[in-house]
Amino acid sequence: MNFIVEYWYIIVALAVVVAGAGIAVVWFLGLPRGAQLKKVREWLLLAVTQAEKELGSKTGKLKLRTVYDAFLTKFPWLAPVVSFERFSKLVDDALDEMRDMLEKNEAVKALVNGEE
């Protein structure tokens, strides 16, 4: 009982964090499947762009592993549902989109190449 009295603010903060995470998961799972997939694809585009910036080109397997680890951290509840093969396909799609962006957008190209 003394523990609760002394550390009530930590208990309340943890409850707020857990409730916030729960609300975010319920909100995401409440989205239609297409909207969920769109959110994941948008995040994947960001993740592969960051991996490209950090690791450079010709490091495909390392980038895939880096993005997959980030995916497991960001979407742990989706990991059992999405197979690695499906995830790899989604990453390939995101890489194609990133390459298109690099060709068409000089600001993104400068960001990835570390010129900014």
Given this model, what pLDDT does residue 34 score? Answer: 72
Direct distance between the N- and C-terminal alpha carbons of the chain, in angstroms, rounded to an integer: 55
Given this model, what pLDDT does residue 13 score? Answer: 92
17 Cβ contact list (under 8 Å, min separation 6)? none
Given this model, what pLDDT does residue 16 score? Answer: 92
Per-residue tens of pLDDT for the chain, all 116 residues: 787 788 888 889 999 999 888 887 777 667 666 777 788 888 898 898 888 888 877 777 888 888 888 988 888 877 788 888 888 888 888 888 888 888 888 877 777 777 65
Q: Is 87 helix (H, G, I), strand (E, B) or coil?
A: helix
62 Cβ contact list (under 8 Å, min separation 6)? 55
CA-to-CA dists, residue 92 to 19, 24, 111, angstroms: 34, 27, 20
> Is the pTM above the cut of 0.75?
no
